[in-house]
Every structure is written in C-alpha cells, then in structure tokens.
Structure 1
Amino acid sequence: MIQLFKIVSFLEGISYLLLVFLGMPYKYLESLGNDPSYVKMFGMPHGLLFVAYIVLAFLLKPTLNWNNKEFGIVCLLSLLPFGTFFVGKYLKK
C-alpha cells in the first residue's frame, strides 16, 4: 500500500500543478482566451487523486505509526504546490 501511496502522491502533485499553472491561467487570463475547459479537464482527475491521497494517508497512519503532527504534515502537503513530492520523508521503508 505504501507503493500505491507514493504513486498517488506523485500523480496528485502533477495534477495539482497542471490545474494551477495551466488550467487557472487559461480560465482567468483574457490573453489566453478565458477558456474554462482546462479547469474541467484537470479538475476532476485532481479531485479524485486528492481524495485517494487523503484516504490512503488515513489508512497508512496506523501502519506507519504516524503521530498526529506527522499525519497533519502529510495532509498539509497535499494542499501546497510541489508538497506531495516531499511526502517520501514521512514514509518508512
């Protein structure tokens, strides 16, 4: 399950970056055409991956013996751009 969490955390990070740095500018910048289709295209996969990330974090908490602070940091990392790429620090081998 740890390997699955690593994969989901990586994909969640990629989807978040695509949403923030491609989807949002295309939606809100007039010079790019005010096109909301990119937000729709990147938003749904990001939402699903975000939910999977949080669920897997809850499932791994007892397995990896995370205290509440470590668990909170792992969850907080999902809200920061590039944050999920650093979650490996909290995964034990």
Structure 2
Amino acid sequence: MLSPAGENPTMQALFSKIAQDAKAAGNEFAEKNICCAIGGFPSWDFHSNVYGLCGTKVSIYSEMLTVWTVASEILVNYENSVL
C-alpha cells in the first residue's frame, strides 16, 4: 500500500524482498505477482479502512505525487528487481 505516512525503503529493495520471501515460501505465483494500491485523491489519503487489508505501507516521496508518476515508479522498479 502506498501512503504518505508509510515507511520509506527504496522501491527496488521492497520488491526484491517481497519476491525473495515468496520464493522462500514456495509461492511461485506471489514471487512474480505483486499488488500495489495507488490512491489518487485530492484530499491526501484513503477515507476507508483500506490499510487494514495491507501488510505494508510505503511512501516513495515526502510530498504528494501525480498518479502517473507513482505508477511509473512502481513499474520501473518492479521490472528492475523482479523480472
């Protein structure tokens, strides 16, 4: 889950860790298939309990970014670390 209030690891390190954990658990599907939730809201954050569904909150920048910037960061770092 991407959130301005989340941890701030590098995206590449995060994706690598997720893939390694899935591989160690023998979950080949999860090793390559990761879900990222991006909220594109003018009022800063989710209003529902979406965070209760997620294991990790991640912040990629200290200020708000456009949705396409966030999506681009996710795709590039996922491709560089997992594929």
TM-score normalised according to structure 1 size = 0.34
Greater per-residue helix proportion: 1
The structure with more radius of gyration: 1
